Structure 1
Amino acid sequence: MSSLADLRKDYSRASLSETETAADPIDQFAIWFDEASRAQIPEPNAMSVATVGKDGRPSSRIVLIKQFDQQGFTWFTNYDSRKGIDVAENPYVALLFHWVELERQVRIEGKIERVSQEESDAYFYSRPLASQLGAIASQQSRTVESREKLEQQYETTKQQFGEHPSRPEHWGGYRVIPERIEFWQGRPSRMHDRVLYTRDASGQWQRQRLQP
């Protein structure tokens, strides 16, 4: 039986230069995201969201990004979930995209804010009806006595709201306004390429290379 310590891979698909990346990290992210999508990577929009609660303990989970632009990185969830409670107490989070097939990671750190009610409405009503009902029925992150109880909550919600549910107040979008964005490209001999963008006091992005 092989040891976990013996599991390793040498990375050699591509390289990354701080002189050849885009001056704006959002533009660079768009390039990499497009390449991940065209490579048909399963769920290239999946990202880890790490939060820290008032007890100082970190927590992470995978969510799906729904939009990114110069304003930031946006996804939607239950505001009463554990991550929602965490960010209400500590509005700084870290995001991580890991595109294994391309030997790439993108790390994003910044401050989080809720999107407008109009943005939350627009996305909620674009979702399939079953997903809308699920968002209403689930008391996310709270305990439930059984799967049968959970399905009963869904059926009750379905009977109550039918085909025209309204977005609940506890469900909506978050946007992370980035302050640091790091692009990581795997390289041979663990001499990986790392290019870090940081936003300065004037709001401009500064770019530099980090040692692996």
Structure 2
Amino acid sequence: MKKLLILFFFLLFAFLHPAKLQARTGHDAFSRIDFKDEGKLLVDMTSEEIEDGYQVMKRKFWGWRHHYFNIFSEATYIGEVIFSKSNRTRQPLEIHYVLQEKDFTERSITVSGSISGKIDGKLQKGNLGGNVSAQASKKETDSYTRIEETEFDIIVEPNYRIIFHITGDCEITNGVSKYYVLGIVFNKGSWEYVNILTRYYEFLEEKLEV
């Protein structure tokens, strides 16, 4: 019987944090977001598409005007990579892993332009809360605290990689807004809100190139 190389990992996530994702989605908490139907994230829109959103808004004497590209559109996401291990040896690699997580992402907001990055509660059609400011851009991630422990044993076969990450379902709402003062555009910007609906762990196995 082949000998197993035993590797023991014990990480306390209250003190150690995973490496930051390359935010291809525009949100640091998500490495990938896929719409279930048609839809686009702000980072995937052209400047012309965003400008068209500004153009369709009617002038207002005072207050906010909003144009929505997506309103609570259903999507799936891939979040934090909790664990990744490659085996380039000739023997199976047995891993015992203990994970303690404390903070869980609930929603992510990104705002650009000169509108405030503070959005009050969940976005509702026709009601975007916030204060006017001179910020160029802002990202916020809301989270809640709950201690959760996961323990497992897994074997990584020779020339394979195991990836353990967070995934689930979410809703996307995004658009552009203008704030009018005496009929003049005082501030404007684009914004995007990701609300997490479900959250679960997923294992992926990849074949390594020899």
TM over 0.5: no
Q: Larger % of strand: which?
A: 2
Q: Larger % of helix: which?
A: 1
TM-score by length of 1: 0.28
TM-score by length of 2: 0.28
Which structure has the larger Rg?
A: 2
